[in-house]
Amino acid sequence: DWTPDSFVDETVEALKAQLGNDKVVLGLSGGVDSSVAAILLHKAIGKNLYCIFVNNGLLRKNEYSSVLEQYEGMGLNVKGVDASARFLDALKDVSDPELKRKAIGNAFIEVFDDEAHLIEDVKWLAQGTIYPDVIESVSATGGPSATIKSHHNVGGLPDYMKLKIVEPLRALFKDEVRRVGASMGMDKDILGRHPFPGPGLAIRILGDITPEKVRILQEVDAVFIDNLKSWNLYDKVWQAGAMLLPVNSVGVMGDERTYEKCVALRAVESTDGMTADWVNLPYEFLQKTSNEIINKVKGVNRVVYDISSKPPATIEWE
Ligand code: XMP
């Protein structure tokens, strides 16, 4: 019988036997999967697990420092690498969604590769790959659906690194990963976190990316997410976020005409992200959130709510 406790016991024993005294490197994303994988490995090999948490400059507001602190609090051997400038540089003047993903994927590999090379005699690369990722990457070799957007969770690093791969969650579904995390006493703040794409806010800023656009979207997103939490709606939504549109629209403030950015809010219900329905958020919530965004975030004068389901409208706008 599968239980989270027996999974933890058996996996920790198996990892000990497999890894012995070897060093292992793992990239933390802040998400559920890599975090649970890290805690399992930490239980098995302790300080021989070297975690790397990269700031790509496209995370949510304050996420880099707060998540890094959380990881340190869990006792993980974790190194934070702030590579924001490098990523923003790689994205300069890039507008095409797939080119953005490529630029980010390449920058990530470079940064991670540099860091991994600093760990003397590292033998293994650990990944938080779960069963649906395995299926998706298989279909990516042939299936038409996988070429709609290239996701960068699976695939890993260039093989010149010669690291062996260890993936302790490979047989699990998302809900099982959460149960495993809970049985190891992980914070429900991490376990209940909405999915967040690897390319981060880059694919929620339509068109080219500038530091100013990132700042605006971080502020907008923070108001939206904080309000979802304070209205007890966060856990009822599968994923939520804001999109910065490449559109200015006319507004009026006092007796001044404004010509500023428009943002779209998106909140969806889903089980696996393959299909999704927009969430019927209360009008009062939308009203209050929209007012707060427009009052607080300089440069935004209009908020719209995305009422499109997937298919055909994907969750991310890019
Ligand atoms: P879409 O937009 O395809 O998103 O409906 C489905 C789920 O996948 C996430 N997503 C990504 N995750 N790299 C990722 O790691 C990506 O390039 C990427 N694109 C979309 C999206 O946030 C949603 O959860």
**Ligand 1 close to Cβ of residue 174 (< 6 A):** no
Where residue 150 falls among pLDDT bands split at 50, 70, 90? Answer: low
Asked if 238 and 215 sit in the same domain, the reply is yes
Res 110 pLDDT > 70: yes
**Ligand 1 close to Cβ of residue 195 (< 6 A):** yes
Asked if 182 and 226 sit in the same domain, the reply is no
The residue whose CA has the least distance to atom 9 of ligand 1 is 197
Q: Which of 170, 191, 212 is the last residue of a domain?
A: 191
Determine the Cα–Cα distance for residues 172 and 166; give it in Å rounded to an integer.
Answer: 14
Question: In this structure, what CATH number is given to the domain that contains residue 287?
Answer: 3.30.300.10
Asked if 176 and 210 sit in the same domain, the reply is no
Compute the distance from residue 273 Cα to the ligand 1 centre, in Å: 8
**Ligand 1 close to Cβ of residue 315 (< 6 A):** yes
pLDDT at 272: 86
Compute the distance from residue 1 Cα to the ligand 1 centre, in Å: 33
Structural domain includes residue 196: no
Asked if 169 and 219 sit in the same domain, the reply is no
Asked if 169 and 225 sit in the same domain, the reply is no
Asked if 172 and 29 sit in the same domain, the reply is yes
Nearest partner of 282 among 236, 217, 226, 223, judged by Cα: 236
Compute the distance from residue 120 Cα to the ligand 1 centre, in Å: 34
**Ligand 1 close to Cβ of residue 101 (< 6 A):** yes
Compute the distance from residue 248 Cα to the ligand 1 centre, in Å: 26
Q: Which amino acid is at 286?
A: L
Q: Is the reported ipTM for this assembly greater than 0.95?
A: yes
Checking 86-94 for CB contacts under 8 A at 24+ apart, the result is 86/110, 86/111, 87/56, 87/57, 87/58, 88/57, 88/209, 88/211, 88/214, 91/202, 91/208, 91/209, 92/208, 92/209, 93/208, 94/208, 94/209
Helix segments in the chain, DSSP class H: 4-19, 32-45, 63-73, 84-90, 97-117, 131-140, 174-183, 188-191, 211-230, 283-296
Structural domain includes residue 316: no
SS3 69: helix
Determine the Cα–Cα distance for residues 114 and 13; give it in Å rounded to an integer.
Answer: 31
Per the model's pLDDT, the better-predicted residue between 170 and 141 turns out to be 170
Is 32 marked within a binding site? yes
Question: In this structure, what CATH number is given to the domain that contains residue 107?
Answer: 3.40.50.620
Is 30 marked within a binding site? yes
Is 29 marked within a binding site? yes
Structure confidence by residue, pLDDT tens digits, 6-25:
999 999 999 999 999 999 99
Q: Which of 191, 225, 250 is the last residue of a domain?
A: 191
Where residue 147 falls among pLDDT bands split at 50, 70, 90? Answer: very low
**Ligand 1 close to Cβ of residue 43 (< 6 A):** no
Provide the percentage of residues in the chain whose pLDDT is more than 90. Answer: 87
Asked if 97 and 127 sit in the same domain, the reply is yes
Enclosing domain of residue 264: 204-305
Ligand 1 atom index nearest CA of 318: 2
